[in-house]
């Protein structure tokens, strides 16, 4: 008889993101952890522990550390929504991280922010390795899975508040995901983040959980379905799309768990 694998810790910032995942789970049990309800169960036959952390880098890092230790998890996952940075992407597309950057960590000069690796003093000689990178063998597997997924079309009545882009099949790609304690609601900032970091999506937790994974020696997978495009209309698109796109991340994660 084979030994069961330790569970995966899954962090969702928001209730909608957790609910989308719960809808795909079986054998569900609830446990209390501090002031939170943590959901234990199976996703496609694999044990997972799912927690709603709250929004932002600190909230997600605390919850990831707690549930990883409490339940002896074998890996950390972040599942939910993000703002798109790459103009090639549409609302409803999904980005799986090959690398993650805390875009708000660093040294602030007159000319802007110089990035440093979170955890080291943001001073002194350059630290070029400010990104948390996913191991190449895991990236190769995730890439293969991304290429195989078909997500259902978004409901036809949900058109972006911004000018709708022409219809096409929803894409699932590998890319760089940025995290910071800011909701991006500016075309100028979207363009700068895309250019400076060569990044595809922005959210508020993934790179913090990546830092926890690096400290605990655990692999980290971040899956984000785009609720908005981080520009002038992101404050309108986010509430309009969050419920419709959150299940996209959960569906992609189910496929990942199935095949990893
Ligand atoms: N999560 C979803 N959309 C976002 C945005 N525009 N900025 C930061 N986090 C997000």
Domain boundaries, the chain: 8-259
Say if residue 1's pLDDT is above 60: no
Q: Output phi, psi for 125, to 5 deg.
A: -60, 150
- The pLDDT assigned to 248 comes to 97
Is-catalytic flag, 228? yes
Q: Is the pTM of this model over 0.85?
A: yes
Average pLDDT, the chain: 94
If you measure from the C-alpha of residue 245 to the centroid of ligand 1, how many angstroms do you get, rounded to a whole number?
Answer: 13
Task: Point out the least confidently predicted range of 110-124, 150-164, 217-231, 233-247.
Answer: 150-164
- The pLDDT assigned to 83 comes to 98
CA 55 to CA 74: how far, in whole Å? 23
- The pLDDT assigned to 4 comes to 74
In 3D, which of 187, 188, 170 has the Cα closest to residue 225?
170
Catalytic residue among 17, 47, 86, 237: 17
Digit-coded pLDDT (tens) for 154-198: 887 886 556 556 667 899 999 999 999 999 999 999 999 999 999
Q: Output phi, psi for 74, to 5 deg.
A: -95, -10
* Domain 8-259 CATH assignment equals 3.40.50.1580: yes
Mutate to test the pocket of ligand 1, among 231, 234, 239, 243 (most ligand atoms within 8 A of CB): 234
- Is 157 within 8 Å of 241 (Cβ atoms)? no
Is-catalytic flag, 17? yes
Q: How confident is the model at residue 259 (pLDDT cuts 50, 70, 90)?
A: confident
- The pLDDT assigned to 260 comes to 79
Q: Whose CA is nearest to atom 1 of ligand 1?
A: 82
Say if residue 35's pLDDT is above 90: no
Digit-coded pLDDT (tens) for 66-124: 999 999 999 999 999 999 999 999 999 999 999 999 999 999 999 999 999 999 899 98
């Amino acid at each position: 008889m084979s030994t069961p694998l330790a569970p995966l810790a899954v962090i969702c910032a928001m209730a909608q993101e957790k609910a989308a995942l719960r809808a795909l789970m079986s054998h569900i049990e609830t446990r209390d952890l501090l002031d939170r309800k943590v959901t234990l169960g199976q996703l496609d036959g694999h044990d997972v522990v799912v927690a709603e952390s709250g929004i932002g880098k600190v909230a997600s890092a605390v919850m990831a550390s707690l549930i990883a230790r409490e339940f002896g998890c074998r890996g950390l996952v972040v599942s939910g929504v993000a703002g798109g940075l790459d103009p090639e992407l549409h609302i409803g597309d999904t980005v799986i991280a090959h690398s993650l950057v805390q875009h708000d960590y660093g040294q602030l000069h007159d000319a802007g922010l110089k990035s440093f690796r979170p955890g080291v003093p943001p001073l002194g000689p350059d630290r070029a390795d400010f990104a948390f990178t996913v191991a190449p063998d895991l990236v190769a597997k995730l890439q293969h899975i991304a290429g195989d997924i078909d997500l259902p079309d978004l409901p036809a009545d949900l058109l972006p508040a911004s000018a709708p882009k022409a219809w096409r099949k929803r894409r699932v790609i590998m890319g760089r995901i940025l995290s910071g304690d800011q909701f991006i609601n500016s075309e100028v900032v979207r363009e700068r983040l895309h250019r400076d970091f060569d990044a595809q999506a922005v959210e508020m937790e993934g790179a913090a959980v990546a830092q926890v994974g690096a400290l605990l020696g655990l692999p980290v997978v971040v899956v984000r379905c785009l609720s908005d495009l981080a520009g002038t209309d992101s404050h309108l698109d986010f509430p309009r799309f969050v419920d419709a796109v959150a299940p996209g991340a959960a569906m992609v994660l189910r496929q990942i768990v199935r095949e990893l």
